[in-house]
Structure 1
């Protein structure tokens, strides 16, 4: 191959915006029904809906529900497990599937193998506020019910909402009658997860927490006796304000397994359901769970033989099998370096969703008898020449006060191009959302879109990120807008100091909480020459005290910034909207008009504060998009606009993309 010399940013790449957009998203919420695998899959070209997929025993797989069916929950706005299934045996009528339809959030029942069957509603619509919403269903055919998390709006405000554990009849009698839905527990707690029924059917356990805590701050394990009419004697078994329990499951011996961070790390404990006494099964300074942004996530799953399939690690999460008796942990070999919190088990089978640095997320099955793991569904296919993919490197940088900062470095790479001698590449700092989250090191065609054109990427897992223990997570307590901004700047400056990046061509990019950090960084100093900001928080006072966000995060800032009643000036001083006069760099602002988590009002207020200051910028809005973009055409527009911004800010002309019009 002839290698051409061209400036960074101008390299021609086979990875265009359409390629990246059409492969956006990943399989989620895999489960086993009988011997079959089921999961949800993205459809960017179909208005960003998620379909329900099925892999039959013979290996064939396909979509079960045509457009416009959209299998996605809105509980806590970020959703959760949106479907469940029950196997009715070889002499039944095939699987019974229950799912949430995004458009109206009703729960539907579907019998795909029954001729002429169509999804039929199980729950009613509600005209009040956000209506009735459902997540984390557990089908109990023997009881004629599906147990779920019920989120019910009682008024028009986002915080006019209650949640509880509820039972919905499978016969459809509640489809038009709210009174037929049985509430299994009261609504004492603001938030709950779906209940897990013990093997002997005598007890149920679930997780609950209350404002102002977030689930990674402190939760409670609730346990109750199961009677004909519901739950009785509900009590707190484990947890508290300073202990986060992320997941509970029952072992075959009717003891409870819980992932709790009481040691400073989410480790799996065996819990006596009578006394709450907990024993750590594998004490390690590693995480065996993660933040509960969505109900129904599953980092571990007990097998019938007493072993436990676990996802664990420090930073990267890998799959292992834990012997609960000896504490021995054996990792599963394979090309996958990152596993999603979506384990399912049946007999000796473990099924999960995993990816690697050069492979996208695919469904992987482990046979615990042989230790053999293989991709069995939604398998990765190279849609571009792997030679155009970056070779990422895990890095640990030193930040202010000598603190560690974890990051992933994606250097520019294209086998057909080289930069002129002496030229340093531009680099973009990518800031993940959350902020209580983490950027995984996996194949991402959006990253390759830029690196294959000669633009380096550094994903920063700044202080406050998950995967590195509670102490690392707590660095951001009352320091949002400080620690995250400092850490991102420190990584950028370290890349310059070591001769990796061009000091004049640094950018920052983020969405949601990452958009906040990106905007705050642009107001904080001169490190970055430009920024790309998507669906951000920009005004802390309006977002929280002003009621501009949803219930789940409405008091998140109590821990991230501090109690607003005590430190109102901190909310003003840290908000980018208060310091629009400090911005000197051009920026791109991207916003979904249907976003209820970070609504357009945040962007509009920021732009009003910036008006007349002569800063080049562009503001692109998208009808029908919420928090995070899902539609193919939206993603294409955003990627091309972002590349054009970098070209204008860094002094190159990117080939084959429209020029973004920057206004002043």
Structure 2
């Protein structure tokens, strides 16, 4: 922890030039968060990022006595690539008093079995076809769903199988993998539980008696937050599923998750009311204008979990997501006390214990356990420790702004903050608007050292949850339908200009940055507005026509039909909104950052865009990173990206970024 600054002399220095202990290496070392918590007997397991180890995800084990370890060393990497964004990569059971784990290894995407003292044993074959065989959202079963042992059980999970070299040459089914390793060299030993009539499936959930299974499906062109179907099938004595029937959902109803309660009733989160609310056997449990579910970007995300006593652990809220316990009989929700104001879509329960991942504006993501009998919540893993004096971290403000047509825009504003510095009287700070990815997603209000990297130097940050963001109901989410590149651009500009008009930000020193869909919004903003003096574009979509006609992966290949419109019907809209088609409109300097292994937003889009910028006299830089995909995971990549971004702002805004390598801007 950094030394306290009490008694330190306060210096007067221009905004953006304040010395800060929050360097890029510190921000990179604390990037990422724990995910996919679960119980194995009384032990709690989860995955955790390791930026310094090539960005791998480590499996972490917390024993019943509280001791912790990462039993699988590098290069083992528990991460699935199903639908490219992945999903729950592990599951476990107890055998002879010891844990038995199955997990997906990122490098080869094979499913492995592991027990203490053994090397991981492959359970599935490798494949040389296309993207190969991939697995996600596993459950360890034997016979009718009890704890399994080698040679007696199966792993039920999602199988994604490529049938050719193209991103759309793929089929997805529910599958049963033998735990004895007999399928490691024999694809035929994998038992398929369903046909592939549906393009997308989630992992099956078995009823307490093992006689019924439910799972979610959807098909192109829908995304899971547009419309899904909840399927139910009987499980025969031979482990074969009967013909499934649709029990909920449809083209305009999104079921985000389904689970069986201990009494055999079926719980699911549906947005049929305009909000993701909970239902039990079709009846609403707690009708509220808030969310008890969210966008299913990763298979196995979990917003609720039934407890043995009949109550339900829930992650819920409007905007921010709290952890609570719902009493289905009364509809009352009691939230866990503590400093955590944002909880992720990962939950696990055992008895009356709940494990979740929570964070807040002053603490990073931690593994939290709630004892529902006492109401006591405590940190049990990935405990936050202040890497610097908290006085260098931002104090964010939750704001609502007014956009075009009087629409409300949600945002988090992080003013500059440094206990050792003030700006000269009368100077206004530069501000960077952050556009989140997705775009069907949301910027959570949590401590982020990448934001502190800028605010502690005197550069403000405004995270905009523009129209289309989640957490505010389906109507807010649907604002972006066929309006991507319009509503998001307008909302970000409205927040930036409002901050300038109220005297919070310097109108001449506004910037915008974002990654993925946020990279699109950044590039589109630079082509469609004159609000920003510069921008940082990370792994973006730049050419809608190319992206919508085969340049991206299967999961999002028809996403643009709702965001923009069907390509065959409105091709001119695709061309009109694409930054790659209007490079001549860009006059502001920019930085473009791209992973060369990105199959979601491929580098070819950046290369076409840059070719059209050649000779135009606009200062810019392009940095491509070997070994990085969609979203940067390696510490050295994140350091270079952050320092380059700061150098861009320093050059454009006239700041003194001492000690930061100068980004070479070409034209």
Instruction: Decide: shared fold, TM above 0.5.
Output: yes
Name the counterpart of 1:118. 119
Structure 1 distance, partners of 2:639, 2:25, is: 6
Name the counterpart of 1:78. 85
Name the counterpart of 1:537. 541
Secondary structure of the corresponding residue to residue 315 of structure 1:
coil
2:230 alignment partner, one of 221, 228, 252: 221
Per-residue CA deviations over 1:93-149 (Å, capped at 9, x if unaligned) read 50000000000000000002xx3x100000001111000000000111446101000
Name the counterpart of 1:162. 171
Runs of 4+, deviation exceeding 4 Å: none
Name the counterpart of 1:210. 219
Per-residue CA deviations over 1:388-413 (Å, capped at 9, x if unaligned) read 11100100000000000000000000
Question: Quick check: 1:146 aligned with 2:146?
Answer: no
Please identify, of 34-43 and 228-237, the stretch whose mean Cα deviation from structure 2 is larger.
228-237
2:622 alignment partner, one of 605, 619, 623: 619
Question: Quick check: 1:584 aligned with 2:594?
Answer: no
Instruction: Return the offset for 1:60.
Output: 1.1
Structure 1 distance, partners of 2:347, 2:143, is: 24
2:32 alignment partner, one of 19, 25, 39: 25
Secondary structure of the corresponding residue to residue 544 of structure 1:
helix
Secondary structure of the corresponding residue to residue 59 of structure 1:
coil
1:183-194 alignment to 2 at 5 Å? 183-194=192-203
Name the counterpart of 1:267. 277
Structure 2 distance, partners of 1:611, 1:230, is: 60
Structure 2 distance, partners of 1:607, 1:548, is: 17
Structure 2 distance, partners of 1:583, 1:610, is: 9
Question: Quick check: 1:437 aligned with 2:444?
Answer: no
1:47 alignment partner, one of 31, 50, 54: 54
Question: Quick check: 1:355 aligned with 2:356?
Answer: no
Structure 1 distance, partners of 2:299, 2:553, is: 16
Name the counterpart of 1:274. none
Structure 2 distance, partners of 1:371, 1:141, is: 35
Contact map agreement 1:363 1:378 (CA 8 A) in 2: yes
1:397-476 alignment to 2 at 5 Å? 397-476=401-480
Instruction: Return the offset for 1:574.
Output: 0.3
Per-residue CA deviations over 1:585-625 (Å, capped at 9, x if unaligned) read 00000000000000000100000111110000000000000
Per-residue CA deviations over 1:620-650 (Å, capped at 9, x if unaligned) read 0000000000000000000000000000110
Name the counterpart of 2:133. 132
Structure 2 distance, partners of 1:229, 1:404, is: 51
Secondary structure of the corresponding residue to residue 363 of structure 2:
coil
Instruction: Return the offset for 1:64.
Output: 1.3
Structure 2 distance, partners of 1:229, 1:365, is: 35
Secondary structure of the corresponding residue to residue 484 of structure 1:
helix
* Structure 1 residues 229 and 345, CA gap change in structure 2 (3 angstroms): closer
Instruction: Return the offset for 1:331.
Output: 1.1
Per-residue CA deviations over 1:425-458 (Å, capped at 9, x if unaligned) read 0000000000000000000000000000000000
The alignment's C-alpha RMSD in Å is 0.7
Name the counterpart of 1:551. 554
Structure 2 distance, partners of 1:29, 1:303, is: 18
Contact map agreement 1:431 1:518 (CA 8 A) in 2: yes
Name the counterpart of 1:503. 507
Name the counterpart of 1:275. none
Q: Gaps spanning 5+ residues in structure 2: where? A: 1-7, 145-152
2:596 alignment partner, one of 593, 597, 611: 593
Structure 1 distance, partners of 2:360, 2:94, is: 32
**Normalised by the size of structure 2, how large is the TM-score?**
0.97
**Normalised by the size of structure 1, how large is the TM-score?**
0.98
Question: Quick check: 1:235 aligned with 2:245?
Answer: yes
Instruction: Return the offset for 1:233.
Output: 2.3
Q: Gaps spanning 5+ residues in structure 1: where? A: 272-277
Structure 2 distance, partners of 1:329, 1:348, is: 16
Instruction: Return the offset for 1:200.
Output: 1.2
Name the counterpart of 2:665. 662
Contact map agreement 2:143 2:239 (CA 8 A) in 1: no
Contact map agreement 2:411 2:462 (CA 8 A) in 1: yes
Name the counterpart of 1:566. 569
Name the counterpart of 2:16. 9
Per-residue CA deviations over 1:157-210 (Å, capped at 9, x if unaligned) read 000000010000000000000001111111110000000000011100000000
Name the counterpart of 2:5. none
Name the counterpart of 2:69. 62
